């Protein structure tokens, strides 16, 4: 994440407020809130402000994924647009979804909430959509998972990393 912060400071730092950068980082797949909070810590953004920016940034893509991703994937596969990538994404999401039928709410909450590589709101939403989990149930589980991830990442980013940087 330090290299991302260095890139920001060297290229966008004079043009884009660091808060906007953190917000945008939190919207990115794979990086999401987890990376956003680390970046916010390294940029010395206060904890409360960082949480608000990262949580909102991480939440924004979720409804679009839940509502539209299956239709987008069908269209893309039908028209041979990145068909191989779409099939790999679907396969990866389905592989990570083992056991979701039983306790899908808890599965999604923990899947999104525990910050491990390849987990988070984007992948959780993709799994929920592909498995046709009730959108209300999925949304609540993913939202709570994002808050859990924020708490864990606060401890890591502002506790451990914050102490190392200061």
What are the per-10-residue average pLDDT scores of the chain (166 residues)? 89 93 95 94 95 97 94 91 86 70 86 90 91 92 97 88 56
Distance CA 92, CA 84 (A): 12
Residue 58 is predicted with a pLDDT of 97
Shared domain for 70 and 88, answered yes or no, is yes
Residue 159 forms part of a structural domain: no
Those residues with Cβ within 8 angstroms of residue 124's Cβ, 6 or more apart along the chain or in another chain: 108, 111, 112, 138, 141, 142, 145
Tell me the whole-structure pTM to 2 decimals. 0.84
Quick one: CA torsion of 124, 127, 131, 135, rounded to 10 degrees? 30
Residue 161 is predicted with a pLDDT of 63
Shared domain for 100 and 76, answered yes or no, is yes
Shared domain for 75 and 41, answered yes or no, is no
Distance CA 146, CA 161 (A): 20
Residue 89 forms part of a structural domain: yes
Residue 108 is predicted with a pLDDT of 93
Residue 56 is predicted with a pLDDT of 98
Could you tell me if 113 and 146 are in contact, meaning their C-beta atoms sit under 8 angstroms apart? yes
Provide the token pair at 88. Answer: 């790999």
Distance CA 110, CA 124 (A): 10
Shared domain for 122 and 98, answered yes or no, is yes
Residue 166 forms part of a structural domain: no
Domain count, the chain: 2
Alpha carbon 150 to chain centroid distance?
11
Residue 69 forms part of a structural domain: yes
Could you list the residue range(s) of the whole structural domain that residue 117 is in? 61-148
Residue 161 forms part of a structural domain: no
Residue 155 forms part of a structural domain: no
Residue 132 is predicted with a pLDDT of 86
Distance CA 125, CA 68 (A): 11
Residue 85 is predicted with a pLDDT of 87
- Environment class of 15 (CB within 10 Å of its CB; exposed 0-12, middle 13-18, buried 19+): exposed
Residue 82 is predicted with a pLDDT of 87
């Amino acid at each position: 994440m330090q290299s991302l912060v260095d890139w920001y400071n060297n290229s966008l730092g004079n043009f884009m407020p660091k808060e906007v950068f953190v917000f945008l980082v939190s919207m990115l797949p794979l990086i999401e809130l987890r990376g956003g909070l680390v970046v916010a810590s390294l940029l010395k953004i206060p904890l409360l402000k960082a949480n608000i920016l990262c949580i909102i940034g991480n939440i924004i893509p979720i409804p679009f994924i839940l509502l539209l991703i299956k239709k987008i994937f069908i269209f893309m596969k039908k028209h041979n647009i990145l068909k191989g990538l779409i099939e790999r994404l679907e396969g990866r999401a389905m592989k990570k979804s083992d056991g979701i039928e039983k306790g899908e709410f808890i599965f999604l909450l923990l899947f999104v909430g525990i910050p491990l590589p390849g987990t988070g709101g984007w992948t959780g939403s993709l799994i929920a959509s592909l498995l046709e989990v009730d959108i209300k149930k999925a949304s609540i589980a993913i939202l709570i998972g994002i808050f859990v991830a924020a708490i864990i990442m606060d401890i890591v980013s502002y506790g451990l990393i914050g102490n190392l940087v200061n």
